[in-house]
Amino acid sequence: MINVLIVDDSAVVRQVLTEQLNQAIGFKVIGSARDPIFAMKMMEKQWPDVIILDIEMPRMDGITFLKKIMSERPTPVVICSTLTGNGAEATMQAMAAGAMDIITKPKARLKGFLVESSSQMLQAIKAASQANLSRLKKASAPPMPIKPKLSADAIIPERRSKAMDKTTDKVVAIGTSTGGTQALERVLTHLPRTAPGIIVVQHMPEQFTAAFASRLDAVCQVSVKEAESNDRVMPGKVLIANGGKHMLLRLSGAQYRVEIKDGPLVSRHRPSVDVLFRSVANAAGRNALGIIMTGMGDDGAKGLKEMHNAGAYTIAQDEKSCVVYGMPKEAVKLGAVDREVSLDDIPKVIMSR
């Protein structure tokens, strides 16, 4: 049973979420509070497994509360916030402070949205409850459809011809999900400007990828941006896949470029790591390095196997350093991984290949 505490100043949100969670098997709402001050009093009696937290609230804002929790008693937190003009930046601050996931809460038709998004909320809470918060530095999702789970075949066919010869141009493809925002920051901030070109799929709502890329760009030596179609993959540059769209690698003459593409959910995600990795296997073969990092589920495992079969060198973040050892575990089980390494060793591998 996952015990959940809801902290939101909206009575509608508290009521609807309480009803939805209490009806779901394996979830129990142990309390709801209209602001963090009331929440802290409740938590003195019973500590939750997961906290659902709004950002804008009276008396104490959600980010301040999150930082306090993470510094005193780290607890999985799922942000459920209405987007405002400053919402994206506020949410980036929350994820940097240790929030596990984001549920975008609209201003209009709120009750209907919460009911329709119950599976998304349940998935986010379940993933958060499994997090290893000892791997998060202290403060200083995608919908789950009922439709059949699609593979990368829905976006790009697998190429079965011989992998291309090795060249001097290298491509690093990274896939990650839960816990990935902090993990990516730790990796990218330790790379020099001479790092090879990097393309990244981080499971994240579409409203936040541009702000996430901008935040990373401000703290990294490498250049980081949200990817656009025809962007060139080149040394010293990191391209982050757009939330809500797939990102593919293609070879254009002698240059690697990315393509941003609409399409259905693949491995229950858009962008999908499987789609990215397959496109890298097809376009780059032995000239690529594939990295699968912390995250729940199995997105990326099959794609990494295809990269491995195409001659790419493939690594997985090890269990000890993962917030959620789900995606790497599935890749290891498939035989897709040449080597497991700690989070802190990933930059060394990138620069040595």
Alpha helices (H) along 46-179: 62-72, 87-97, 110-116, 118-129
The fold of 2-135 is Rossmann fold (3.40.50)
pLDDT at 95: 78
pLDDT at 83: 53
pLDDT at 178: 85
* pLDDT digit string, tens, across residues 212-231: 899 899 999 999 999 999 99
Please report, for residues 42, 54, 184, 240, 352, the alpha-carbon distance to residue 135 in angstroms, rounded to integers and kept in the order given. Answer: 27, 24, 13, 23, 25
d(CA 131, CA 138): 14
Tell me which architecture the domain covering 153-352 has in CATH. Answer: 3-Layer(aba) Sandwich (3.40)
Catalytic residue among 10, 32, 129, 177: 177
Residue 56, exposed/middle/buried by CB under 10 A (0-12, 13-18, 19+)?
Answer: middle
Q: Is 164 left (phi over 0), alpha (psi -120 to 50) or beta?
A: beta
pLDDT at 107: 63
Catalytic residue among 49, 81, 203, 231: 203
Classify strands 237-240 and 223-226 as parallel, antiparallel or unpaired. parallel
Does the annotation count 269 as an active-site position? no
Does the annotation count 308 as an active-site position? no
pLDDT at 111: 73
pLDDT at 239 over 80: yes
pLDDT at 138 over 50: no
* pLDDT digit string, tens, across residues 255-278: 999 999 999 989 888 999 999 999
* pLDDT digit string, tens, across residues 174-204: 999 988 988 999 999 999 999 999 999 999 8
pLDDT at 144: 35
Does the annotation count 177 as an active-site position? yes
Catalytic residue among 117, 231, 299, 321: 299
d(CA 290, CA 337): 9
pLDDT at 62 over 70: yes
Query: What are the residue boundaries of the structural domains of the chain, listed by start?
Result: 2-135, 153-352
Mean pLDDT of the chain: 87
